[in-house]
Amino acid sequence: MSRVDHRDRHLERIAEVRAGRAAEKVGYPIRVRAAEVVRTGRVGSGLLRVTLGGPGTAGFEAHSPDEHVKLLFPDPDGTLRLPEPNGTMLRWPKPSPTSREYTVRRYDPATGELDIDIALHDGGLGADWARSVEPGAVVHVAGPPGGLIVPHSYDRYLLAGDLTALPAIARWLEELPRTAAGWAFVEVADAGEEIELSAPEDVEVHWLHRGDAPAGTTDLLARAVRAGVRVPEGERVYAWVAGEAGAIKPLRRWIRDELGLGKADHDVTGYWKRGVADFDDDHDH
If asked whether residues 142 and 178 sit together in one domain, one would say no
Same domain, yes or no, for 112 and 206? no
**Domain endpoint, select from 147, 166, 201:** 147
CATH number of the domain bearing residue 104: 2.40.30.10
Please count the other Cβ atoms lying within 10 Å of the Cβ belonging to residue 246.
13
pLDDT in tens, 39-73: 999 999 999 999 999 999 999 999 999 999 999 99
Strand pairing partners for 144?
A: none
Residue 284 located in a structural domain: no
- Judge if 89 and 12 occupy the same domain: yes
Q: Indicate the residue type of 39.
A: R
pLDDT at 281: 57
Same domain, 121 and 167: no
pLDDT at residue number 274: 84
| Residue-number span of the structural domain to which 58 is assigned | 8-147
**What would the pLDDT profile of 255-266 be if each residue is shown by its tens digit?**
999 999 999 999
pLDDT band, residue 7 (cuts 50/70/90): low
Same domain as 161, residue 105: no
Residue 1 within a domain = no
Identify whether 63 is part of a domain.
yes
Cβ–Cβ < 8 Å for 51, 113: yes
In the listed set 147, 171, 192, which residue is the last one of a domain according to the structure?
A: 147
Is residue 123's pLDDT more than 90?
no
Q: How many CA atoms lie within 13 A of 203 on its CB side?
A: 30
- Is 100 in the same domain as 199? no
- CB proximity list for 80: less than 8 A, separation 6 or greater: 72, 73, 74, 97, 140
Same domain, 133 and 16: yes
6 band by pLDDT with thresholds 50, 70 and 90: low
Same domain flag for 101 and 165 = no
Counting the structural domains of the chain, the total is 2
> Is residue 183's pLDDT more than 60?
yes
Q: Specify whether 41 is located in the same domain as 78.
A: yes
Mean pLDDT of 236-259: 96
Q: Could you please report the per-residue DSSP string of 145-205?
A: -EEEE--TT-SEEEEEE-GGGHHHHHHHHHHS-TT-EEEEEEEESSGGG-------TEEEE
> Domain holding 244: CATH number?
3.40.50.80
Do 196 and 257 have their domain in common? yes
